Amino acid sequence: MSMVERAWAGTSTDARSRVAELRDRRAKASEGPGQAATAAQHARGKLTARERIALLLDEGSFQEIGLLSRHRATGFGLENNRPYTDGVVTGWGTVDGRTVFVYAHDFRIYGGALGETHAAKIHKIMDMAIAAGAPLVSLNDGAGARIQEGVTALAGYGGIFRRNTLASGVIPQISVILGPCAGGAAYSPALTDFVFMVRGTSQMFITGPDVVKAVTGEEITHNGLGGADVQAETSGVAHFAYDDEETCIAEVRYLLSLLPSHNREHPPAVPGTDPADRRCDELLDLVPVDGSRPYDMRRVIEVLVDDGEYLEVHERWAGNIVCALARLDGEVVGIVASQPQTLAGVLDIEASEKAARFVQMCDAFNIPLVTLLDVPGFLPGVDQEHRGIIRHGAKLLYAYCNATVPRISLVLRKAYGGAYIVMDSQSIGADLTYAWPTNEIAVMGAEGAANVIFRRRIAEAEDPEDMRARLVKEYKAELMHPYYAAERGLVDDVIDPAATREVLIRSLAMLRAKHADLPSRKHGNPPQ
């Protein structure tokens, strides 16, 4: 008698008994390894996989697949421990009524480690998400590859990475790190559109503290090496970091409300509750006319967008530029804005990379771009040059030039040199360019320009400082007055700051049907 025959020997052939047995198996599979393992998970300050899915999806909407899956590996005692689900919960449901696919590692089973069956379940749900044209959310809490299964586990990661790449720019991919995510496992989140982390309980790194100490002699904690704050502030790997899982997952739901289901549709619009023609008179006092005085660009964004609500991406990394998703008259827009409060809003390597990635994401998912400029140029310095500011700055230039979504730029104050061109100027394809009457668009600041152009006259003057002051004033009057660019057609209009919201909304409404085709090619070769 075979193993299957022995298992079924004496089993009733009554259909109701079979259904009762099915219910029992499903209940045991859903419960997982038991209350002790669940208590241990909670003691670590973490929710279980199913508790996380319940927070993410609309109540009662989750449809699980692969519940009764079990691994078939042998050796090292694996054949005697074959839990249902094999350590990952997969399926789909809805968020605000829209279909979303999800997989969640169950740390209670093999520490969430990935094996052959585990990987096959993830591959299937990824394939389904791509085919259905719906977002994919991964809830990561796993200890990497299942060592006992050897190279088959590593091959499973390869299948995930390939699907991440195929889905890139096709469906939104969101990775939520809710525990360890180490070694090869960390590359999947790195390939997705957004990475969320939770302070204190989630870590990402390629090699852990023990390996680091063995190789380099450096001693560091798990959180110090790859915790949420490190990845959100220092490396830029994480786009968002929160204090607890509940808040983190709630923000994932909010992000999904701002994204389309796939790249062939527009983001979901909502009825506007904030008047489109609302004047923003506070902007007249919020932004100082003196270009050397800082202010918080976030306050400008808050005044302009619907109900003052926006979601800032990479808030704590490269603070000299702000990237945010918001709504204008109910329609989703992506905002890229200089931040004069940090490094005077100058562009550097990190800011260029941050903005370039954001522009590419918006373009992939049909989100119009609004760029707010108050930028004095690229950050000068040996360190920046040696680390490749030319190469990294070109990433932002490439992203804008390649973008076909509606693009509007607005110069609030300074817009100098190459940074002015790179930040979506008319010459690289912005559909509409506006400026406030406080704008200064030039190759460089007046003081620097005067020192170059009039160097000899200043040096030969009886009073060099007085001569410099007069020549700076002359240069400003000739080439840096607010209407110089408008007179030459490089700015479409100079507008009243208080009317900015209405102008942006009217312009975006006109551009909504914009269609632009790129040259036929397999793909571009952007700077890296």
Residue 192's domain is classified under what CATH number? 3.90.226.10
pLDDT range class, residue 5, cuts 50, 70, 90: very low
Residues 292 and 416 in one domain: yes
Domain count, the chain: 3
220 lies in the same domain as 308:
no
Residues with a known catalytic role: 183-184, 418-419
Q: Does one domain contain both 130 and 160?
A: yes
Query: What is this structure's pTM?
Result: 0.91
Same domain, 309 and 394: yes
107 in the same domain as 205: yes
Q: Taking the CA of residue 128 as centre, how many other CA atoms within 13 Å lie in the half-sphere pointing to its CB?
A: 19
Lowest mean pLDDT among 1-10, 164-173, 370-379: 1-10
Query: Rounded to whole angstroms, how far apart are CA atoms 178 and 201?
Result: 6
- Same-domain check for residues 473 and 504: no
**pLDDT tens figures, 409-420:** 999 999 988 999
The verdict on residue 370 lying in a domain is: yes
What's the whole-number average pLDDT of the chain? 90
Query: Between 143 and 285, where is the model more confident?
Result: 285
- Distance from C-alpha of 61 to C-alpha of 101, rounded to nearest angstrom: 11
Identify which has the larger pLDDT, 340 or 13.
340
The tens digit of pLDDT for each residue in 6-65 reads: 555 555 678 888 888 888 888 888 888 889 889 999 999 999 999 999 999 999 999 999
Q: Are 310 and 456 in a shared domain?
A: no
Mean pLDDT of 359-377: 97
pLDDT in tens, 473-518: 777 767 667 788 888 888 999 999 999 999 999 999 999 999 888 8
Same domain, 37 and 84: yes
**Six-digit token pair at 496?**
């009243």
Q: What is the pLDDT of residue 280?
A: 97
Question: Residue 430 falls within a domain, yes or no?
Answer: yes
Query: When comparing pLDDT for 7 and 328, which is higher?
Result: 328
| Per-residue confidence (pLDDT) for residue 451, from 0 to 100 | 67
Question: Taking the C-alpha atoms of 190, 191, 196 and 202 in order, what is their torsion angle to the nearest 10 degrees?
Answer: -40
Mark residue 278 as left, alpha or beta (left: phi above 0; alpha: psi -120 to 50; beta: remaining).
beta
Same structural domain for residues 231 and 86?
Answer: yes
54, 62 contact by CB (below 8 A): yes
- Domain range for 454 is 444-481
Amino acid making up residue 368: P
Q: Classify residue 20: in a domain, yes or no.
A: no
Question: What pLDDT, on the 0 to 100 scale, is given for residue 58?
Answer: 98
Q: Give pLDDT tens digits for 200-230.
A: 999 999 888 988 889 999 999 999 999 999 9
Share of the chain above pLDDT 90, in %: 67
Assign residue 236 a region: left if phi > 0, alpha if psi is -120 to 50, beta otherwise? left
pLDDT in tens, 428-459: 999 999 999 998 887 766 666 666 677 777 77
